[in-house]
């Protein structure tokens, strides 16, 4: 799968992941790509030291010498900057097709989303509810987070479809699912179809956050009890854990 990363940088990134003392706990390559993409949309500068431990599951990667380590770090920074430059030019597009052709691509998309989700969790307050958000902005943000949750934690998303009509279930593919496992897969595929819309919503919200909170007067967040979102972060978890109760339909 193509993640819009230079082949030379890809080699360095894969070498970096393999250097972890506990590679089975470190990110997969798609997760790392999603993580770096997530860093590129956060409207704040995050020091490398803050997010490096996330990628290698808290372990220190082993390199033969400092020069090799620096080459890998520069490769990561280049990837983030390349993504940022693309976004600033208004040329956003997902670096892959949202319609997986086989099981491998299916898993890679899930990993990419999980990696991006982990990066966004570095600044959970950005994805909260603010007084300057109108009803449409809040709905779009909530739906985007639901889509992320539905891909990473499809078990939690089952309730979203409880009130769907038979026709709507047929459109999602859930009505024809023969067992729970197939239903879970259909939920993930359904959410993947809206992934580009979800990421676009997050990009727009990040821009609004920068305008209102970083470049403009600071506003207090709405009381947590009035928001459907909490700031909970967990490994391969949601940026903001969404309460699916009452959420009926995903806008696309």
148 has pLDDT over 60: yes
Q: pLDDT value at position 184?
A: 85
Same domain flag for 128 and 191: yes
Same domain flag for 93 and 142: no
Same domain flag for 129 and 14: no
**When comparing pLDDT for 71 and 235, which is higher?**
71
Q: pLDDT value at position 120?
A: 95
Same domain flag for 77 and 153: no
Same domain flag for 52 and 144: no
Same domain flag for 115 and 146: no
- Opening angle at CA 249, ends 226 and 209, nearest 5: 50
Q: pLDDT value at position 59?
A: 64
Place of tokens 């020069």: 67
Residue percentage of the chain with pLDDT more than 90? 40
Give per-residue pLDDT as tens, 194-247: 999 999 999 999 999 999 887 665 545 554 333 333 333 334 433 333 333 333
Which of residues 122, 137, 153 is at a domain's end?
A: 122
What is the average per-residue pLDDT within 124-140? 93
Q: Which domain holds residue 61?
A: 1-122
Which of residues 71, 87, 122 is at a domain's end?
A: 122
Give per-residue pLDDT as tens, 157-179: 777 777 777 777 777 666 666 67
Same domain flag for 88 and 164: no
36 has pLDDT over 90: yes
Q: For residues 215 and 211, give the distance between their C-alpha atoms in angstroms, rounded to a whole number.
A: 5
Same domain flag for 110 and 131: no
Q: For residues 77 and 167, give the distance between their C-alpha atoms in angstroms, rounded to a whole number.
A: 47
Instruction: Write the DSSP assignment of 123-138 as a string of letters.
Output: SGGGGS-BTT--HHHH
Q: How many structural domains is the chain composed of?
A: 2
**When comparing pLDDT for 244 and 15, which is higher?**
15
Same domain flag for 167 and 59: no
Same domain flag for 85 and 149: no
Mean pLDDT (the chain, rounded): 79
- Evaluate whether 144 touches 202 at the Cβ level (below 8 Å): yes
Same domain flag for 36 and 155: no
Q: pLDDT value at position 109?
A: 95
Q: For residues 53 and 118, give the distance between their C-alpha atoms in angstroms, rounded to a whole number.
A: 12
Q: pLDDT value at position 229?
A: 34
249 has pLDDT over 60: no
Q: Which residues of 87-98 are buried (b: 16+ CB within 10 A; e: fewer)?
A: beeeeeeeebeb
Same domain flag for 117 and 127: no
Which of residues 79, 105, 122 is at a domain's end?
A: 122
Q: pLDDT value at position 230?
A: 33
């Amino acid at each position: 799968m193509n993640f819009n990363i230079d082949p030379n940088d890809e080699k360095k990134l894969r070498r970096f992941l393999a250097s972890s003392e506990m590679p089975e706990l470190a990110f997969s390559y798609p997760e790392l790509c999603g993580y770096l993409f997530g860093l590129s949309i956060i409207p704040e500068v995050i020091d490398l030291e803050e997010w490096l431990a996330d990628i290698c599951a808290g372990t220190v990667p082993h390199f033969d010498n400092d020069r090799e380590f620096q080459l890998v770090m520069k490769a990561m920074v280049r990837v983030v900057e390349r993504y940022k430059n693309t976004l600033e030019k208004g040329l956003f597009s997902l670096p892959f097709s949202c319609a997986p052709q086989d099981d491998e691509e299916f898993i890679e998309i899930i990993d990419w989303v999980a990696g991006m989700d982990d990066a966004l969790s570095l600044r959970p307050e950005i994805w909260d509810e603010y007084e300057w958000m109108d009803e449409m902005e809040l709905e779009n943000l909530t739906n985007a987070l639901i889509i992320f949750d539905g891909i990473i934690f499809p078990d939690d998303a089952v309730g979203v479809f409880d009130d769907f009509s038979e026709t709507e279930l047929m459109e999602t593919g859930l009505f024809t699912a023969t067992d729970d496992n197939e239903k879970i897969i259909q939920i993930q595929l359904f959410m993947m179809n809206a992934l580009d819309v979800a990421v676009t919503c997050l990009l727009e919200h990040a821009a609004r956050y920068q305008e209102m909170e970083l470049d403009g007067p600071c506003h207090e967040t709405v009381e947590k009890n009035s928001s459907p979102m909490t700031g909970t972060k967990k490994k391969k978890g949601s940026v903001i854990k969404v309460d699916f109760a009452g959420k009926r339909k995903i806008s696309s």
